[in-house]
Every structure is written in structure tokens, then in C-alpha cells.
Amino acid sequence: MRFAIFLTLSFFLTDAEADPRSHYLIHCMGCHLVDGAGVPPEVPTFNHDLAFLAGTDEGRRYLVQVPGAAQSPIDDAALAALLNWMLARYAPGESVTPYSESEISEYRQQILADPISERARLFAAKH
């Protein structure tokens, strides 16, 4: 079923039409689900935690350096647009500095080997 959806989307979307939502549906929805619910605890639910993370230097790196984001087959500008779209969608009303393309380029050079531990560390620092 997911395969069929992927094929349909790929068929109808050209690059010119590819917007953050389309990128989400094609590259992220498989694990994060269409509404961002994920499959906790393995795949975290997208919610206001995103705004907390995007509000600290280390958290901003983490959001880009999780393998699903860093290794997605979209360019830095598109990944910046996608993460900004996700922040607006899943953490509405929070004031978060948007990601720039250059910020993504820098962070993306490194991919987290143990994202779960890094996430736990970032939240431990919050409380």
C-alpha cells in the first residue's frame, strides 16, 4: 500500500511542484506517518518538542543530524524548507528561528551515530 502511494506521488509530482509537504509525504511519511504521530518510542511523535529542540544550538544540530533528515535525498535548501514547514505544522504558535540553507549545509556534514541517546541528553538538560 505504501509502495503504491509512493509511486503515485512520484508520478504526479515534478520538481517544480515539489514543496515541503510533498517532500514530507515522499521521504518522511513512511516512518513518521502522514500526521507526524510516528511510532513511539522508536519514532518520536512530532509536536512542540520540535520547538524546544530548535531553540537551542545543540537541538538545532540534532534535528538536522538524525539519519532520516541528514540522509534524505533532497538538497540543503529543500531540507531547510521542510524542517521549517514541520516546525510551523507541528509546533504552531512557537517563535523559532527558521533554518537557513547554510545552517543545514554545515550541520548535515555530520550524522548522529546514536540519535536516541543524544535526544535523551538534550531533554535531560531541559529539566
Is there binding between residue 98 and ligand HEC (CB under 6 A)?
no
Residue closer to ligand HEC, measured from CB, 27 or 61: 27
The site map against ligand HEC for 68-97 (x = CB under 6 A) is: xx--x---------x---------------
Site for ligand HEC contains 67 (CB under 6 A): yes
Q: Out of 42, 95, 124, 127, point to the residue binding ligand HEC (CB under 6 A).
A: 42
CB atoms within 10 A of CB 52: 16
Burial (0-12, 13-18, 19+ Cβ within 10 Å), 67: exposed
State the greatest distance between any 2 C-alpha atoms of the chain, in Å, as a whole number: 46
Classify each residue of 78-97 as buried b or exposed e, where b means 16 or more C-beta atoms within 10 Å of its C-beta.
bbbbbbbbbbeebbeeeebe
Instruction: Point out which residues bind ligand HEC (CB under 6 A).
Output: 27-28, 30-32, 42-44, 49-50, 63, 66-69, 72, 82, 115-116, 119
